[in-house]
Amino acid sequence: MKQVVVVDSDLEDLIPGFLAKRQEDIAAVLTAIQTNDYETIRIIGHTLKGIGGGYGFDQLTELGAALELAGKRQEAAPARELVQAMKDYLAVIEIKFE
């Protein structure tokens, strides 16, 4: 089931790059989980927390905040679940520009 995300039309040119970067974030977090690099997990989570809402992706902000916390707590299992939630979310979004 698609999830509609309303994005400001002024950001339309930036969205493909923004979404590509999120795929890079997913790969980086998965690598960080494998190497117990919790600082990278925390930083990526912090970044997502800060930028998601600005682009209209409020769920990325929430996932980022939780990922940041998992990194701080050095918890691999929650981080893995959050990355999967992020993958699932990005797979079902439908962007509507206004």
The pLDDT value recorded for residue 1 is 83
Domains present along the chain, CATH in parentheses: 3-97 (1.20.120.160)
Short-list 51, 34, 10, 81, CA closest to 43: 51
**Global pTM?**
0.93
Reported as a single tens digit per residue, the pLDDT across 54-64 is 899 999 999 99
- CB burial of 3-40 (b: ≥16 within 10 Å; e: otherwise) equals eebebeeeeeeebeebeeebeebbebbeebbeeeebeb
Strand partners, 94: 4
Mean pLDDT of 18-30: 97
Q: How far apart are CA 6 and CA 57, in angstroms?
A: 8
